[in-house]
Amino acid sequence: MIVDIGLIALTIAFAFSLYATFTSVYGGWRGRPAWVESARNASLLVFLLLTVSVITVVYSLYTFDFSLAYVYDVSSRSMSPFLRVTALWGGQQGSVLFWAWLMAAFVGAVLVRKWERDRELMPYVIFVSMLTTTFFVGVVLFITNPFTRLWHVSGADELIQAIFQPANSMLYLAEDGNGLNPLLRHFGMIGHPPTTYLGFTGFVIPFAFAIAALITGKSRGDEWIRTTRRWTLVAWIFLSIGLILGGRWAYDVLGWGGFWGWDPIENAMLMPWLTGTAFLHSVMMTEKRGMMKKWNMVLIILTYSLSLFGTFITRTGVISSVHAFSKSALGPAFFAFIGFTFIGSVSLLYLRWDTLKSEHSLESFISRESAYVLQNMLFLAITFAVFWGTVFPLISELVTGTKITVGPPYFKSATGPLFLILVFLMGIAPLLAWRKQAVRALGKAIWIPFVFSLGIAAIAGYLHRMHPASIFGLWLVAFVLSSILAEFWKGIQARHATRGENPLTALMHLISRNHRRYGGYIIHLGVILIALGVIGDAYYKQETQGTVLAGESLSIGGYRLQFEGLRGYNGSDGREIVEAVTTLYQGNQLIRQIIPRRDYFTVQQQNATVPGVYSTPGMDFYVLLIGWDQGKSASFKIYINSLINWIWIGGLVMIFGTIIAAWSNPGQREATYVLKPEAVTPHLLPQES
Amino acid sequence: MTELQKDESEFQKPKPSTHPKAGLILTFAIVLALLGLLAWGLKKAQAGPVEKGMAPGFTITGYDGKTITLSELRGKVVIINFWASWCPPCREEAAYLEQTWRKYDGKGVIFIGVDWVDTEKEALAYIKEFDITYINGPDIGTRIAQAYNIKGVPETFFVAKNGELRGVHIGPLKSPQLDDKIEELLSEQYP
């Protein structure tokens, strides 16, 4: 009964989204506001109907309705209520429904908030975003429907999955379900899908506005950019959180001591993040100088296309990934949708290329503008390197007949240097003046951070003589970090001098006076902390492994891990746990107990290796229990992951910075940061469009 | 220094009349080539494993250095198992495979383990862990996997005495699936 409500709501949602797609474009084309209004109402209704569908699935998961194939697959009686609810995105059917629902939510929010503001763009914003929504709702309804039931046909060996009752069949009601894949029962994997989906679907909004601007010819102006700036920031930060949570999950669960493996699925997420980050920066040039309009269009189209592309290659099995993703019948439909999106966007871009002219030209090589151009190029180059490595197996198979997979070494050597330049640019660019930077003034601004960072590099060089590249990396991190902090310091000094505020008040006022600027700096600080973690992981990682009897020890990097014994017991959600009790010593000083373990999930017959970790700001002492012999000996793998925690800390700093940057400055219009009129010579003033 | 300037000024001054024709053609060519590549990949991905006809021939060299060629095994039932050390479901079936192999060893049945996209060290540890005694070798250049068009691991192909494929099992084998299939294929007549 409940399930029927969900299914009916889903069906009507599909009809309404189809309706909204066509009425909006017709209304826009013929200039009929009533049609557009109707499309808007239909779009809002789609969100409500999908909400009903989502609630139905969650309710079925919560109440163990194992007659549904989806519930049977991802839920089980031993799972906690919380896990059962999050199983909404634990499998494909639920994920796609959840995805469609989030997208409808974004569209609904835009239609409620921005309705009065961009009336001319709205018909096409609805068209683009509802076309996408229609596609996803259609996929849920026709291809991977979460309301599919399990049926037992008399005489047949296997169960049949169907929405409606097949002939000669009875509803099959299982006693218990398979349960969520044990590897996914971790906070990272519970938070990763929703944040990632929010990121991907969130980029629909700027994309829809961009396409609407192209269709209407409003791409000449930059209203669409002002309207979508905050939406883009929200999408971007969720994608960033998704990436970090995914990395944290891999680090905690997959048991190989790392957080990023350059797997196609990870790359699929990284590519839209790279172009999205470039887009976030690039739009500022348009806002402030009326430049780089072409870049913005290209970047947002790329970002959206790459997120579709990534979903496509990983979900349809075109590029095999070590992540066990269910292969599905999504392929042809998804392919048609991608083809339409790619060709449609490129054609529009071509037709409106002339509307995207810059209002100013680049005046000097050393200026804020040129730094923006350079950063866009770097982001694109990195994206291309990642893209090439990701599709290379496919290309090599087409050309030579042999599937060649390029591994992490390719990605590291191709993107590493580019990332380094990008980080350097991050330290310098915010100091550069618009239009033209006097070299002498620049030197004056950076000499203190520069000398300071050289000092840090000298100390690092003395301590880590065996890794010359890492010394360079540490210098860079120290330089950028200190130049960002210097910016804060200068602002505080100025307020202190002119208003006599104490440093803390001055800092608070500084940030609250200019959210975007200082929010941006804080995000940059987060990025630098992440870079520090990556350097630690790349150069200072140590590892060892060995088999020891109780009482014996393994030593690594000044630490000694003593194995005390094994113990086993049954866990709460159907797992059998074997733990190794070990004690960590530094020299002769006891630090603490570390308990790595191996969980065996009896229903799924699957193992999960849970590391035991001693965590400090400087490093993680990371212990894996990889095997044992009847209670006598145990085998361990030990990693010292230097600086790795700065990755997670940096992630938190980035989130904090984004919240500040997205917060609107009270009483200030968005256009506050246009160059001061007196600084602009008359012929450079932006023309009214 | 002029490099960047030039780039940017080229970027912003396309004369209204001269659409960037070459650029346009190039862009569309790239988009279409990419779509073509994806279509081809999708077609392959959708085709599914080879199930009928003669089993594609191959020669594999095991980790123990012994070599075996499929076409020389006529008259015997051949079980080809694709696996990898990093694959959890493979672990589920490993013990059952080895046990079944020991049961039929010397009774006209050959097992071949094809190790797909793996590293030797881990693969050898896996073989040792499950005490696997039938031939196991790396699929160099994934040529065998491509001939059989596997989607993932584990996948097990059944080859009749006359060299024809008699089906494939995707996912881990559970007792008595493999015994049943072997008995069925052993009962076939071969001159």
User: A125-158, pLDDT tens digit by residue?
Assistant: 999 999 999 999 999 999 888 998 888 887 776 7
Mean local confidence (pLDDT), A366-380:
87
B114: left (phi over 0), alpha (psi -120 to 50) or beta: beta
pLDDT of residue B10: 43
What do you get for the CA distance between the two ends of chain A, in Å?
Answer: 57
Local confidence band at A672 (pLDDT 50, 70, 90 cut-offs) = very low
Q: What is the mean pLDDT of chain A?
A: 84
Of A189-193, A416-420, A532-536, B124-128, the range with the lowest mean pLDDT is: A189-193
Are the Cβ atoms of A605 and B92 closer than 8 angstroms? Answer: yes
Are the Cβ atoms of B46 and A331 closer than 8 angstroms? Answer: yes
Local confidence band at A493 (pLDDT 50, 70, 90 cut-offs) = confident
**Shortest distance, CA A408 to any CA of chain B (angstroms):** 14
For A442-588, strand residue ranges (E) read 542-549, 553-556, 559-570, 575-586
Of A120-124, A288-292, A381-385, A565-569, the range with the lowest mean pLDDT is: A288-292
| Nearest residue on chain A to B84, alpha-carbon basis | A322
pLDDT of residue A237: 92
More confident of the two residues A387 and A676: A387
Mean local confidence (pLDDT), A3-28:
93
Of A97-111, A300-314, B144-158, the range with the lowest mean pLDDT is: B144-158
pLDDT of residue A255: 66
Mean local confidence (pLDDT), B55-65:
89
A679 has pLDDT over 70: no
Out of A319, A357, A395, name the one closest to residue B12 (CB): A357
Peptide bond into B176 cis (omega under 30): yes
Q: Say which amino acid occupies A122.
A: M
The Cα A261–Cα A274 span in angstroms is: 17
More confident of the two residues A507 and A463: A507
What do you get for the CA distance between the two ends of chain B, in Å?
Answer: 80
A513 has pLDDT over 80: yes
pLDDT of residue A666: 57
**Shortest distance, CA B1 to any CA of chain A (angstroms):** 6
Best of A404, A605, A635 to mutate (most B CBs within 10 Å, chain B):
A605
**Percent of chain A clearing pLDDT 90 (strictly above):** 26
pLDDT of residue A241: 92
pLDDT of residue A275: 94
Local confidence band at A6 (pLDDT 50, 70, 90 cut-offs) = very high
pLDDT of residue A5: 92
Q: How many helices (H) and strands (E) does chain A have?
A: 19, 13
In chain B, which residues have their Cβ closer than 8 Å to the Cβ of A332? 42, 46
Are the Cβ atoms of A346 and B31 closer than 8 angstroms? Answer: yes
A159 has pLDDT over 80: no
Best of B6, B12, B121 to mutate (most A CBs within 10 Å, chain A):
B12
In chain B, which residues have their Cβ closer than 8 Å to the Cβ of A605? 92
Are the Cβ atoms of B34 and A342 closer than 8 angstroms? Answer: yes
Local confidence band at B35 (pLDDT 50, 70, 90 cut-offs) = confident
The Cα A250–Cα A256 span in angstroms is: 8
Are the Cβ atoms of A394 and B37 closer than 8 angstroms? Answer: yes
Out of A316, A324, A365, name the one closest to residue B5 (CB): A365
Mean local confidence (pLDDT), A324-353:
80
Of A160-164, A447-451, B7-11, the range with the lowest mean pLDDT is: B7-11
Are the Cβ atoms of A331 and B35 closer than 8 angstroms? Answer: no
Q: Residue A76: exposed, middle, or buried by beta-carbon count in 10 A (0-12, 13-18, 19+)?
A: buried
**Shortest distance, CA B35 to any CA of chain A (angstroms):** 7
The Cα A450–Cα A232 span in angstroms is: 34
pLDDT of residue A238: 93
The Cα A71–Cα A162 span in angstroms is: 14
A52 has pLDDT over 90: yes
Out of A322, A342, A358, name the one closest to residue B86 (CB): A322
pLDDT of residue A137: 95
Tell me how many degrees the CA angle A665-A669-A675 measures, rounded to the nearest 5: 105
Out of B28, B92, B146, name the one closest to residue A403 (CB): B146
| Nearest residue on chain A to B23, alpha-carbon basis | A350
HSE at residue B127, side-chain half, CA atoms within 13 A, is 21
Q: How far is CA A59 from CA A2, A63, A185, A276, A507, in A?
A: 9, 6, 20, 36, 48
Side-by-side strand order, sheet with A149-153? A160-162, A149-153, A169-171
CB-based contacts of B138: which residues, under 8 Å, 6+ apart? B63, B115, B118, B120, B123
pLDDT of residue B49: 65
| Nearest residue on chain A to B129, alpha-carbon basis | A627
CB A300 within 8 A of CB A207: yes
In chain B, which residues have their Cβ closer than 8 Å to the Cβ of A362? 4-5, 8-9
pLDDT of residue B9: 44
Out of A295, A327, A353, name the one closest to residue B151 (CB): A327
Q: Per residue in A92-116, pLDDT tens? A: 888 889 999 999 999 999 888 877 7
pTM: 0.80
Q: Per residue in A427-440, pLDDT tens? A: 888 887 777 777 77
Tell me how many degrees the CA angle A364-A365-A371 measures, rounded to the nearest 5: 115
**Percent of chain A clearing pLDDT 70 (strictly above):** 92
The Cα B130–Cα B96 span in angstroms is: 10
Q: Look at residue A457 and give its three-state secondary structure.
A: helix
Of A80-94, A161-175, A268-282, B41-55, the range with the lowest mean pLDDT is: B41-55
| Nearest residue on chain B to A395, alpha-carbon basis | B37
Q: Per residue in A599-646, pLDDT tens? A: 887 766 667 788 888 988 888 899 988 888 776 788 888 989 888 899
In chain B, which residues have their Cβ closer than 8 Å to the Cβ of A353? 14, 19-20
Are the Cβ atoms of B40 and A398 closer than 8 angstroms? Answer: yes
ipTM over 0.85: no
A534 has pLDDT over 80: yes
* Residue B86 contacts A where some CB pair is shorter than 8 Å: yes
Q: How far is CA A602 from CA A43, A179, A625, B20, B25, in A?
A: 45, 11, 19, 63, 58
Are the Cβ atoms of B13 and A357 closer than 8 angstroms? Answer: yes
In chain B, which residues have their Cβ closer than 8 Å to the Cβ of A394? 37, 40-41
Q: Per residue in A409-428, pLDDT tens? A: 888 888 888 999 999 988 88
Cα–Cα nearest to A665, from A521, A526, A518, A525: A518
Are the Cβ atoms of A338 and B38 closer than 8 angstroms? Answer: yes
pLDDT of residue A631: 63
Q: Residues, chain A, total?
A: 689
Q: Residue A583: exposed, middle, or buried by beta-carbon count in 10 A (0-12, 13-18, 19+)?
A: middle
CB A275 within 8 A of CB A376: no
Helix axes A223-249, A264-289, angle to 10 degrees: 150
Out of B11, B46, B146, name the one closest to residue A294 (CB): B11
Cα–Cα nearest to A280, from A211, A210, A225, A352: A225
Local confidence band at A24 (pLDDT 50, 70, 90 cut-offs) = very high
Mean local confidence (pLDDT), A513-521:
86
CB A367 within 8 A of CB A435: yes
Out of A316, A342, A374, name the one closest to residue B4 (CB): A374
Counted across chains A and B, CB pairs separated by less than 8 A come out at 101
- Long-range CB pairs of A576-583 (<8 Å, 24+ gap) are A576/A600, A576/A602, A578/A625, A578/A628, A579/A625, A580/A612, A580/A625, A580/A628, A580/A634, A580/A636, A582/A612, A582/A623, A582/A636
Tell me how many degrees the CA angle A618-A624-A629 measures, rounded to the nearest 5: 150
Q: Say which amino acid occupies B75.
A: G
B54 has pLDDT over 90: no
The Cα A32–Cα A37 span in angstroms is: 9
* Residue B24 contacts A where some CB pair is shorter than 8 Å: yes
In chain A, which residues have their Cβ closer than 8 Å to the Cβ of B118? none
Q: Among the CATH numbers 1.10.4160, 3.40.50, 1.10.3470, 1.20.120, which is that of A1-180?
A: 1.20.120
pLDDT of residue A680: 38
Q: What is the mean pLDDT of chain B?
A: 81
